[in-house]
Amino acid sequence: MAEAAALEGVRQCTSELDKYVYLRHLQQESPALFYKLLINNAQELLPVVYTPTVGQACQEYSKLPIKMHGLVIRPADKGHILAKLRDWAGVERVRVIVVTDGERILGLGDLGFNGMGIAEGKILLYTVMAGVNPAVCMPVCLDVGTNNQELLADPTYKGLRQKRLRGPEYDDLVDEFMSAVRDLGDHTLLQFEDFGNSNAFRLLDKYAPLQCSFNDDIQGTACITLAGLLSALRVTGKPLQDQKILFLGAGEAGTGIGQLISKAIQAESNLTEEEALQRCYYLDSKGLVCRSRTDLQHHKLPFAHDVPFQSNLLDAVRELKPTMLVGVSTQPGAFSKEVCEAMSESNDRPIIFPLSNPTSKAECTYEEAFSWTNGKVVFASGSPFDSLKAPDGKIYFPAQANNAYISFVTSLFDCMLFRFLHSNRSLLR
């Protein structure tokens, strides 16, 4: 009865943000009922506590009448971060940490301390989708300031009121935090979430060999997109090595996807690494990433191919004739009618994945992609879209390629690894 009443309470809320607040209050007042409700109604409620509603919740986080569930680490905590982690954990041994510094929250940019909402939302997936005890799951925000002037000028903002920490001071803080995580226990999974491009790649490269960790935006998004592509090929009937993939957006998510796809191509064919990378093309804010450009960041260089420069997406689609179009740009409407029609002209079944989150940042909707390709599209999006009824009376359901599903796989693997290590403790020494 309590669960039914709680679910009815959610449904009576007049907006998605009101539902979010309602569930946050339930989490605080009755944790057992909260998790039971989420687990038994995941399809309905995950879009409320996670994507897409969590985006709006992060934007308004400091204003919301909710109690923070996670742990905040600030520069003033340097020297006693381990003590803060232990105080938060209490007698429980932390098994999973989701950490963000709030610099690149979804497609919304630098939200500073308000990024705590994404850490709190993402950590729920480990419980809801893989049954990990919430008592051993820790959301963390490294509040190192923000370059978002609107937040700094907002009197309700609860974060550190200074420009974002950079350089050695930032690195020292992160290093102490990572060392403290290792000292918490003999095995803790750490998920980097929504760090900016300037830090995401280098932190992953530095700490992955030292700590059981992964970057959700680089690796998680890549995994789920590759899985989506492999599923799409069952429809198109064409092999992976014959694909030509064009990405709108060349940040950490986009290039991470390309790197993993190229590895998958090499594993399934006789192609070299260079040949596999040439199956992936990128369009950034300045145009097509190509060899003639001299302004490319290091993570774009492997994808700078010897092709004519194109200044816009439509021209790039017409020139390259890709089999798959992936949106990781946070540019709503970028996959226009003309772009989708051009994809349809060169492909019997065009693969179109507008992956940007939240829903307001998606490059196109399912209804648009379906209509503009005359129903031929093979579609998956980062945020959920409603089903649609086609003129022939059939109901079509859009797939979702969100790295939430990777949290499920990762946490299951983590549980198995934890059990293995504790039955072979000599490996920990």
Q: Is residue 65 part of a domain?
A: no
| The token pair that represents 52 in the structure block | 């897409």
pLDDT of residue 91: 64
Q: Are residues 237 and 89 in the same domain?
A: no
Considering the domain architecture, whether residues 255 and 394 belong to the same structural domain is answered as: yes
Tell the residue number behind the tokens 């030292």, with chain if given: 210
Instruction: State which H helix or E strand residue 410 sits in.
Output: helix 404-423
Task: Supply the pLDDT for residue 408.
Answer: 53
Return the pLDDT at 298.
86
pLDDT of 417 reads 44
Question: What's phi and psi for 270, nearest 5 deg?
Answer: -100, 15
Token code pair at residue 199: 């830090």
Q: Which residues are annotated as part of the binding site for a divalent metal cation?
A: 193-194, 217
N-terminal to C-terminal alpha carbon distance within the chain: 50
- Model confidence pLDDT, tens digit, residues 345-359: 999 999 999 999 888
Residues taking part in catalysis: 50, 122
For residue 262, report the phi and psi dihedrals to the nearest 5 degrees: -65, -35
Same domain, 309 and 382: yes
- Range(s) of the domain holding residue 320: 219-402
Residue identified by tokens 């309700």 is 156
Give the CATH number, domain containing residue 206.
3.40.50.10380
Q: How many angstroms separate the Cα of 292 from the Cα of each of 86, 248, 249, 341?
A: 52, 19, 18, 29
List residues forming the annotated binding site: 104, 193-194, 217, 357, 402
Provide the phi-psi class of 330: left if phi over 0, else alpha when psi is between -120 and 50, else beta.
left
Say yes or no: 185 and 239 in one domain: no
Listed in sequence order, the DSSP H helices in 269-356 are 273-277, 313-320, 337-346
Please give the pLDDT value at position 198. 86
pLDDT by residue (tens digit) across 102-136?
A: 999 987 899 999 999 999 999 999 998 888 899 99
Which residues does the annotation place in the binding site for (S)-malate?
A: 104, 357, 402
pTM of the model: 0.83
**CB neighbour list of residue 313: distance below 8 Å, 6 or more residues apart:** 248, 283, 334, 335, 339
Looking at the structure of the chain, the number of domains it has is: 2
Q: Domain for residue 63, yes or no?
A: no
The CATH number linked to 339 is 3.40.50.720
One domain for residues 117 and 240:
no
DSSP secondary structure letters along 101-165: -SSS-TTS---GGGGHHHHHHHHHHHHHHH---GGGEEEEEE------HHHHH-TT--S--SSPP
pLDDT of residue 129: 84
- In the prediction, which pLDDT does 410 show? 54
Q: Give the residue among 261, 231, 233 at the shortest CA–CA distance from 246.
A: 261
Residues in the chain with pLDDT < 70?
91, 186, 405-429
- 328 and 397, same domain (yes or no): yes
Compute the distance between CA of residue 182 and CA of residue 179 in angstroms, rounded to an integer: 5
Q: Which of 114, 121, 109, 5 is nearest to 59 (CA)?
A: 114
In this prediction, residue 429 carries a pLDDT of: 33
